[in-house]
Structure 1
Amino acid sequence: MISTSLAPSTSGLSSVANLASTQSLRPVAQRACLRQSTLQIENKVAIRFQRFGRKKKPFYRLVAIDSRSRRDGRPLERLGHYDPLKKETNLDAPAIKKWLEVGAVPSDTVSNLLKKAMVIE
């Protein structure tokens, strides 16, 4: 019989006892790796566009949404819309300012649009 433990084998011990003695060495290395790889994830709100319309005819909604959710995910609040073909915008300025005060981060494109509409400096 081949022993897998570091302790000397005795005829009275079962194989379960041999496995138990070797398992005490393994978790120490695993715990250290788990502690190092733990990351803090912050919940951030983003102000960004959701694409609607059809092929070659885009239409965008301006929304406040969790930054981790997908582009077309469920928004926290609709803040307006933008039609690039007609060059038409409709923005809810008080709601946008409220989200910016809370700490929402606008995307680069949204930031440019808000500057043109003079909602932000």
Structure 2
Amino acid sequence: MAHLQGQCCCNSLSSRHSLAGTPLTALRQFRLTAPRQPLMVEARVHIRFQRRGRKRIPSFRLVAMNSRDRRDGRPLEELGWYNPLSKETNLNAPAIKKWLQQGAQPSQTVGDLLRKAMILGEADFKRAGKQNKLKPVSERDSS
């Protein structure tokens, strides 16, 4: 390999000069000089819990995060906290409303907590769970 040092074994420099007028070279130059558009990936923001505390002593932070980030990753903003053992909560209602107006989606558990705190109404958040598939009594008798 020492004898090839400083030399180009594939003669790429001479091949570039010989292709200077071809359409392929013009396309390569355009790709290098054309302004690139930023890659648009829709990143949704979720309002969810971030676990804190110790083993068997949980506490949670209420955070606004990118939906693709891991659970305990860096949040966009901390919105409050919740202690499930003592049932204490501390919520920053104006910040939560701001994120909801911007299109952030609360998780199911956070949505339940926000409805209990009256930050969300029933019409604002519908829990996507199992639907009651039982028919009313009047429909069962007629079938």
Within 5 A, what are the aligned runs for 1:81-96? 81-96=81-96
Can you list the C-alpha shifts for 1:66-87, whole angstroms capped at 9, x where unaligned?
Answer: 0000000000000000000011
1:43-62 map, 5 Å:
43-62=43-62
Q: Displacement, 1:55?
A: 0.8
Give structure 1 regions of 4+ aligned residues with deviation exceeding 2 angstroms.
none
Normalised TM-score (structure 1): 0.66
Q: Pairwise CA RMSD of aligned residues?
A: 1.0
Report the number of matched residues: 82
Say which structure is richer in strand.
1
Aligned AA for 1:83? N
- Structure 2 CA distance for aligned equivalents of residues 102 and 41 of structure 1: 17
* C-alpha separation in 1, matches of 2:111 and 2:72: 19
Q: Distance in 2 between matches of 1:103 and 1:44?
A: 8
Name the counterpart of 2:108: 108
Which structure has the higher relative contact order (CA within 8 Å, separation 6+)? 1
When the two structures are superposed, what TM-score results if normalisation uses the length of structure 2?
A: 0.56
How does 1:1-20 map onto structure 2 within 5 Å? none
Percent of aligned pairs with the same residue? 66
